[in-house]
Amino acid sequence: MRETLILLPGWGLDGALLQPLAKALGGDMQVQVPALPRLSSAAAADWLDELDTRLPHDCWLAGWSLGGMLAAALAARRGERCRGLITLASNACFVASAAWPTAMPAQTYAAFYEGCQENAGATLKRFAMLCAQGCADTRGLSRQLQNHLAPSDEPSLLAGLRLLASLDNRAALAAFTGPQLHLLAEQDALVPAAAGDALLALLPTGEVDVLEACGHAFVLDQADALAALMLDFICEANDV
């Protein structure tokens, strides 16, 4: 029986964005792409409670951006009931602080949050452009991403942004003893690839790799390359 991999989407874009990656993985894995919770609460425990209730146990947890941060937190909560963890363009902390400086500057985040409050639709389009930045066909990919924008009137958009700012996965990543793979994008405009060394220092076991010449939307732009790396890692983990 093939192993199951849960692939969680990120903030602001629907799960259909991950279907090319899911398809590339699907020959070897049973891949599910569930939607993120739609909550007005920004409490991490509320999001994790819902995900823990509706996602199968004893599977691999993976996710992109916010989805990766939630996957990491859920993996730590499940412990031995999680087969392994893979994050894509995810950081331990999304917003920079003295304790974790390699992240989005707090002023940049604050301006982004204010923009979402004032005009969610415009902010989502800007987010799509930032996701595409650093990829080969930035304009074409940006237009493609805009076809996957989440509903602009959902209170969960703002809750998701507050969750991004508050999630601190340093302890979770250090506590999870299962196999971990964290893939970053060299030209990511939202999650700096420079966080890779700090991420690696947290892990009890695992790998951190940076894909060259791509940005935050490498889940769409580099789906085949990501799938190959993920499958190789899962095969190696299973052979141990």
Active site residues: 65, 188, 216
Positive/negative CA dihedral, 128, 130, 135, 138? positive
d(CA 236, CA 205): 13
Say which residue the tokens 């029986």 belong to: 1
